[in-house]
Amino acid sequence: MELVAGATGSLGGRIVRELLGRGGRVRALARDRGSAASLEAAGAEVVLGNLKDPPSLRLACRGADIVISTASATRRTDDTPENVDAQGTINLVDAAREAGVRRFVYVSTLGATQDSPVPAFRAKAAAEAHLKQSGMDYVIVQPDAFMDVWFGMLIEGPIAAGHPVTLVGESRGRHSFIAEADLAKLVVAASLNAEVRNVTIALGGPEGITFRDAVTAYEDALGMPVDVRSVPPGSTIPGLPEMVSGIAAAFESYDSLVPMREVGATLGVPLTTARAFASRRVAEGLGRA
């Protein structure tokens, strides 16, 4: 039995369905049954619980062999990186250990360190440290930025609205953007591979690209040029929260290139290029928006 925390999120839902597709018995942790209705319809057992409610986690973990957590602070006003990503995950790790769970898989983030200037990264680093000391077999995955999230916000949204794409600076930062569907498959493959244990694995896509490279991929998929404008670091990107603009600016201050040839081959997951991702998104309707 695999328990998935964060199951009602986009990545968590993909992981639940991937496990079900492999014939697994899957338990989905949810705050309310309604949010997990589609997962229940797909065949998952839904159990109600909250990372900030340890007794509910002990019940959720009972009988589980593997726990996979993608849970992170949401937009709910009572959720923060400190009480969800850090303490909430610590609560789940403790509940899993007490329930006799043999293996815990934690989806963290690339760049998670306890001295990071980003609160969520510090929180995830604290959770990682606690998991490593738990005595359970563990796998920590640290994915790079998601194509689905960043291409969606910076490129697809403006294109769909008929607005220019706004990038920060000269778009020289190169990153191993990863498709969420690939990440779900990688997490499941690592979860079920007994030889992958007590490790921290950086995960990314098959190439290191800039946001300008990503725009080019969309131009090729659309068969037309995309209007691109630039703002200096510190400026707000039109239509996006200040925090998002700040992170986009941070992407320009470093490269994050994740070597994936060996990992992808070991876990048996082919990786999606930016060009293939853009083509699929356009085929799904972006080009008609």
Residue 214 belongs to some domain of the structure: yes
pTM of the predicted model over 0.85: yes
Residue 184 belongs to some domain of the structure: no
Residue 193 belongs to some domain of the structure: no
Does residue 125 sit in the same domain as residue 151?
no
Looking at residue 164, which CATH number applies to its domain?
A: 3.90.25
Does residue 81 sit in the same domain as residue 163?
no
Looking at residue 20, which CATH number applies to its domain?
A: 3.40.50.720
Does residue 132 sit in the same domain as residue 67?
yes
Residue 200 belongs to some domain of the structure: no
Residue 257 near residue 174 (C-beta atoms within 8 A): yes
Domain range for 170: 147-175+206-256+272-288
Residue 64 near residue 57 (C-beta atoms within 8 A): no
In total, how many domains does the chain have? 2
Does residue 100 sit in the same domain as residue 169?
no
Does residue 77 sit in the same domain as residue 171?
no
Q: Which residues contact 145 (CB under 8 A, 6 or more apart)?
A: 110, 175, 177, 178, 251, 256
Q: pLDDT tens string for the chain (289 positions)? A: 999 999 999 999 999 999 999 999 999 999 999 999 999 999 999 999 999 999 999 999 999 999 999 999 876 667 889 999 999 999 999 999 999 999 999 999 999 999 988 888 999 999 999 999 999 999 999 999 999 999 999 999 999 999 999 999 989 999 999 999 999 999 999 999 999 999 999 999 999 999 999 999 999 999 999 999 999 988 889 888 887 888 888 888 899 999 998 888 888 999 999 999 999 999 988 744 4
